[in-house]
């Protein structure tokens, strides 16, 4: 398993956090998503090498979140 933390700057409310969770959980290979409004991030756990980080970012971008491809520090 691999866990990655993505910045989702446009996630501003509980509704956004729910959408982010839903979008990411619908990607094949994703097993867990934890969103945080405090630091505007999503921690995604997925099977190693599937999906790729760009695939996660692309899925979020397609949902209207503009900054998902920047990893949080």
pLDDT value for 66: 58
Rounded Cα distance between 18 and 23, Å, is 9
Q: How many domains does the chain have?
A: 1
Residue 42 is assigned to a structural domain of this protein: yes
CATH number of residue 53's parent domain: 3.30.70.100
Residue 73 banded pLDDT, cuts 50, 70, 90: very low
Distances (CA, A) of 72 to 28, 43: 23, 10
12 domain-assigned:
yes
pLDDT, greater one: 4 or 65: 4
Give a yes or no: residue 29 inside a domain.
Answer: yes
The boundaries of the domain holding residue 6 are: 2-62
- Residue 25: pLDDT band (50, 70, 90) is very high
Q: Is residue 67 part of a domain?
A: no
50, part of any domain? yes
4-33: buried (b, 16+ CB within 10 Å) or exposed (e) per residue?
eebbbeebeeeebbebbbebbeebebbeeb
Across the chain, mean pLDDT equals 83
36 lies in some domain: yes
Domain assignment of residue 57, yes or no: yes
pLDDT greater than 90 at residue 45: yes
Q: Is residue 27 part of a domain?
A: yes
């Amino acid at each position: 398993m691999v866990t990655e933390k993505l910045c989702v700057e446009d996630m501003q409310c509980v509704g956004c956090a729910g959408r982010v969770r839903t979008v990411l959980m619908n990607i094949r290979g994703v097993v867990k998503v934890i969103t945080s409004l405090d630091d505007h991030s999503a921690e995604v756990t997925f099977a190693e090498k599937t999906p790729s980080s760009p695939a996660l970012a692309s899925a979020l971008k397609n949902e209207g979140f503009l900054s998902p491809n920047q990893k949080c520090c």
